[in-house]
Every structure is written in structure tokens, then in C-alpha cells.
Amino acid sequence: MAGHSLTKGRVVALLAHRLAILAYVAFALFPLYWLLKVSVTPNKLLYSEGIRMWPSQTSFEHFDFVLKHSEFPTFFKNSLIVAGSTALIVTALASLAGYALSRFSFRGKYWIVALMLLTQMFPLVMLVAPIFKMLSPLGLTNSLTGLVIVYTAFNVPFATFLMQSFFDGIPKDLEEAAMIDGATQFGAFRQIILPLTLPGIAATLGFVFTAAWSELLFSLMLISGNAAATFPVGLLSFVSKFSIDFGQMMAAGVMALIPACLFFLLIQRYLVQGLTAGAVKG
Amino acid sequence: MASLAARNGGSQRDQRPLKKRLADASAPYLYSAPALILIVTVMLVPLVLGISYAFRDIQLLKPFSGGFIGLDHFRTLSQDQNFYRALRNTLWWTGWSVLLQFVFGLILALLLDKPFFGRAIVQALVFLPWAVPSFLAGLNWAWLFNPVVGPLPHWLFALGIMSEPNNILSDPQLAMWGPIIANVWWGIPFFAITLLAALQAIPRDLYEAASIDGAGPVKRFLSITLPFLAPTIAITVLLRTVWISNFADLIIVMTNGGPADRTQIVASYIFTQAFKRLDFGYASAIALVLLALLIIYSMLIVVLRQWLLSKD
């Protein structure tokens, strides 16, 4: 085709494409860049060099303060425990349920899928009050266990669909062959199918961890003291208490960003599959 | 389940095959039982409880509350000007968020559709906002709009868009744009990823055939790309509309519904009633109305789809 030679029109189109891409990258990264920038700006320069792109001097004083003299390490640890346990439990339950949906046709399957879809459709904010009322007499408010239970339930339906899509990609002959050789169905599932789904399991772990790490409304409602506060609760109470110290807040914000970004790198390749499996979720 | 009931009446002589049959029949239920039990106890039971709260007087601060009061909450709600404002704000918030996310997401998907040097890295970078926790996205944008530490008011002032470098989040006329912009930043990747997947499923030879026939890029987009994308666009936009209308995180973090309730949407109003005023009954009544509206919306979509299909 004639279009392959570098005509003037093609150069312009190429340039426009690259510039548009550049604009998107800048828009996506700028807020995070600014977060990082303010977190390393020493207090004495924070206001005098307010909108400079990079401070004339950098320091880690805010990180130092946040790590040593604030409760953020506790919040960080709490969030890590909650998000980590939720991810592990959800992935275990979702592999089992996803396997059932992928490999068996059974009575009630339609209703199970319908129930799981229903849980993705109604506004979760409806559940804030009743869940608080249910967990409170059980001593599960203001407790990390309570949060893990709630987050696990919220994430299981989406994770089940995700795991089902990964199981669907593995041919059935594999476990049939193993079962002819004398393995039970569960044995075949555990020894043959699960190892093949490891990338899918990693992706599910990543999705659920990110979701639990980010959850805000239920942790605000269920947690009141500092001892069991997760990162969002701690950061928001910090914002309303010491709204002047931007450097420290942004240093804490950078800390909250780190695990989310790590898990994002882990699941990046599976984003399409994950988002289509849970198109209703964020 | 019928085969489970057979366990008690099972005969002795046929034990092994029966046992195996039972195991086979119950296997899918056993696999899915833990997940189901959890969903029913932690989501379905509270959902039903919440619906019952809508007809009861439940306030955490009033120890003797809890009695049934019939439709009292709904009568209060029908007079509640804050609720109507929240309803209007929800339309505004959802409409602009979905529209901008979709348009910019579609452009990004089209840009990423053709291979170029460094595409993998670019893709990872532009999708990164999706991984940022919503509370942090909200705070981050709130800081960017803050003239003390953020550059945006100064830039808007320098461009002559604003007469003074003020915080738009404290301006009742403009405040809603703050969470909307944060939401667009955060949600573009979702649309871009979904649409990119759909784009890459379009057979490439269609484009070649079309350009041999002399179709220009605009013609190719309108007659090939758009029809192929249409089903994905429809389903994604519809589901996202429901999701975003319920998405209160950014608003609660950035403005908490203020100034003067100008950014309060129904979902954040429900949360404020439950969290700040601890009035669980009233919060549940609003939630029930929101649920009804969402169901009506979904039914309208289904009806519309049927009507469009029958017309063709």
C-alpha cells in the first residue's frame, strides 16, 4: 500500500498518536508524581516552593516521622493482615466454588450463579447498618476478624467467576485421565488442576488483595479505635485531626500506594480476564 | 439433593457403587458450600434485615428503639429536600463520570490498539490509576485541588479560567467537578481495558478489505469498529452506570457531601445517615428506595433492549 511510505499525512498522524499517548501517561502519573514530590519536600520549602515541579532540596523527614512517631506502622500492619487473610481465604473458597461451576452440571447451579450475580448488583452501602448490627453483639466490630469475614463474603462471588474462567481454560481430559488411573476427583483437582491454575490463583490473590486494601466504607463503620484501624481509617482520621501537615500525610499516602502497586504488577497481565469476569465490580 | 436424601434409605448390598454415586452427586455442592454459606450469612441475611429496618425505628443512640413504624420513614423521606437534592446530584455525578470515562477510555483503547514501540510499558503506566486505592485517589485529588499544596488552582488561575486560585472543592457551584475529575482519572483504565479487549477481537482482514475498497479511517471506524464494539459498549456502560451511582468513596473522602450538601449523592447520604447520625432505620429506608430505582433502571434497559431487537 502507498500509505507505508512516509508521506506528510502519515508523519502528522504518527506524531498526533504519540502526543496523545504522552498526554494520557502524563495525566495518569501526574497525581502520583505530586504525591511523591510533596512527601519528599522538607517542611520549610513546602509553602515557599508550592507549585515548583521539584523542590530545590529533598528530605525523608516526613517518612522518618511517620515511621517512628505515628501509628501508621500499626495501620499498615492491620491492613496487611486484613487484606492478606482475605485474599488467601477468598482464593481458597473461590477455587472450590469456581471448580464446581466449571466442571459439574448440577441441580441448583443456575440459582448459585444467579445469587452470586445478585450480590454484585445491589448497592453494598445498604449493608452497612445491618452488618454493624449483626457483628456488634458477636464482638466482631472493632476487630480485624470481623473485617476479614465481611470482605471475604464481598469478594467471593467475583473471585469465583474469575477462577471459573481460569478452570474453563484447562482441558477436561487431564483430570479424566488421572481419574482413570485411580485418582479421586478431589485428588485430580488438587494434584493436577490446581498447579496448572497457579497463574490464575496469583491473579485472584492480587485482585482480592487490592480490593480489600482499598475498602473504605465498611472499615470506617466497623472500626472505631486506633488499635484495629486499617490504613484508610487511620489516614482519614489523621487528615481530619492534623490537616496542616501535608508532608506527613503524603508520606503516609505513598506507603499506602506501595502494596497496591506491587499487586498491580502481579495481576497486570490478567486485567482483561479479571475485569470481564467481574465486569460489575470496580 | 434427591440423591442426598437417598443416603438414609440406601440398601446394604449395593453399597460401594451407591457410595460412589452419592459422592459424585454431592461433590459440586460440597465444593461450593463454603462460599455459599458465607454469601448467604454475610450478604443475603443483612440484605433482608436491612429491608426490614426500613420499616422500623432503629437508632443506635436510642436504646429503646426498634419497634415497627410502618411507612413513617418513607413519609419523612418524601418531604426530605436533602434526599431530592442527593437524587439530582446522583444523576449529575453518574452522568458526567460515565460519559467522560467512556469517551476517554475509548480514545485510549483506540490509541493502544495498534502496536508501537514501548506499548507494554505505556499500557502498564496508563492503567496504574486503577490500582490506586479509591480513598487514596480521593485524597490525592483533594490535595491537588488545594491551593496550599496543589498546583491545579494556580494553573487554572494562570490560564484565566479562575479569577482567584481557590479550592474548587469549597465552591458550591463547582465542588462536584472535583470528585468527578478524580473518578474519571480513576475509571478510564476500566473502560480502556474492556474496550481494548473487544477491539483486539475484531478480525484484522476486515480493515484490509475495507481499505482496499477505498474506505478512509473515519469510514472504517464507523462501519467496522463501532458496530463490533457496540455490544461491549452497551453492557459496560450500563453496568458502570449502576456501579458509579453507588460509588460514594471519592465523595466521602474529598468533600463529605459538602459544601452545603452540593456533592451529596444518594449513596453517600445513606452512609452519612448510618455512620454520622447512627439512624439505621432511616438509612435503610433510603437504601430501599435507591434499590428500587436501580431495579427500575435495569428493567427499563431490558425492555428497551427487547424493543430494539423486535424492531430489527
- Between residues 230 and 249 of chain A, which touch chain B (CB distance below 8 Å)? 231-232, 235-236, 239, 246, 249
Residue A192 in contact with residue A178, Cβ under 8 Å?
Answer: yes
- Judge: A129–B50 Cβ closer than 8 Å, yes or no: yes
User: Which residues of chain A have a pLDDT value below 70?
Assistant: 1-6, 242-244, 272-282
Residue-wise pLDDT tens digits, A39-52: 998 888 877 777 77
Residue-wise pLDDT tens digits, B124-180: 899 999 889 999 999 999 999 998 888 999 898 888 888 888 888 988 989 999 999
- Going from N- to C-terminal start, the domains of chain A cover 2-59, 68-277
Nearest Cα neighbor of A264 from B94, B18, B127 is: B127
Backbone angles phi, psi at A229, to 5 degrees: -70, 135
CATH topology classification for B72-311: MetI-like fold (1.10.3720)
Using a CB-CB cut-off of 8 Å, the residues of chain B touching A206 are none
Q: Does A117 touch chain B (CB under 8 A)?
A: no
- Going from N- to C-terminal start, the domains of chain B cover 72-311
Looking at chain A, how many residues does it have?
A: 282
State how far the Cα of B294 lies from the Cα of A147, in Å rounded to an integer.
27
A179 or B87, which is more confident? B87
Residue B65 neighbours by CB distance under 10 Å: 15
Residue-wise pLDDT tens digits, B96-125: 999 999 999 999 999 998 888 888 889 889
Q: What is the pLDDT of residue A23?
A: 96
Q: What is the ipTM of this complex?
A: 0.87
Looking at chain B, how many residues does it have?
A: 312
Using a CB-CB cut-off of 8 Å, the residues of chain A touching B47 are 122, 126-127, 130
For residue A53, the SS3 value is coil
From the options 3.40.50.12370, 3.40.930.10, 1.10.3720.10, 3.10.450.40, give the CATH code of A68-277.
Answer: 1.10.3720.10
Residue B94 neighbours by CB distance under 10 Å: 21
- Is 90 exceeded by the pLDDT of residue B183? yes
Q: Does B98 touch chain A (CB under 8 A)?
A: no
Residue A5: DSSP 8-state: S
Nearest Cα neighbor of B127 from A254, A22, A198, A268 is: A268
Amino acid (1-letter code) at residue B91? L
For residue B279, the SS3 value is strand
Q: Does A85 touch chain B (CB under 8 A)?
A: no
Residue-wise pLDDT tens digits, B16-56: 678 777 877 888 899 999 999 999 999 999 999 999 999 99
- Is 80 exceeded by the pLDDT of residue B62? no
Q: How confident is the model at residue B86 (pLDDT cuts 50, 70, 90)?
A: very high
Choose the closest CB to A246 out of B114, B143, B185: B143
Q: What is the pLDDT of residue B134?
A: 92
Per the prediction, chain B carries an average pLDDT of 87
Q: What is the pLDDT of residue B6?
A: 43
Q: What is the mean pLDDT of the segment spanning B195-223?
A: 87
Residue B233 in contact with residue B195, Cβ under 8 Å?
Answer: yes
Residue B14: DSSP 8-state: T
Give the residue from A116, A150, A217, A249 with the most B CB atoms within 10 Å of its CB, the best one to mutate.
A217
Amino acid (1-letter code) at residue B249? D
- Is 80 exceeded by the pLDDT of residue B4? no
Per-residue cell: A11: 508523519
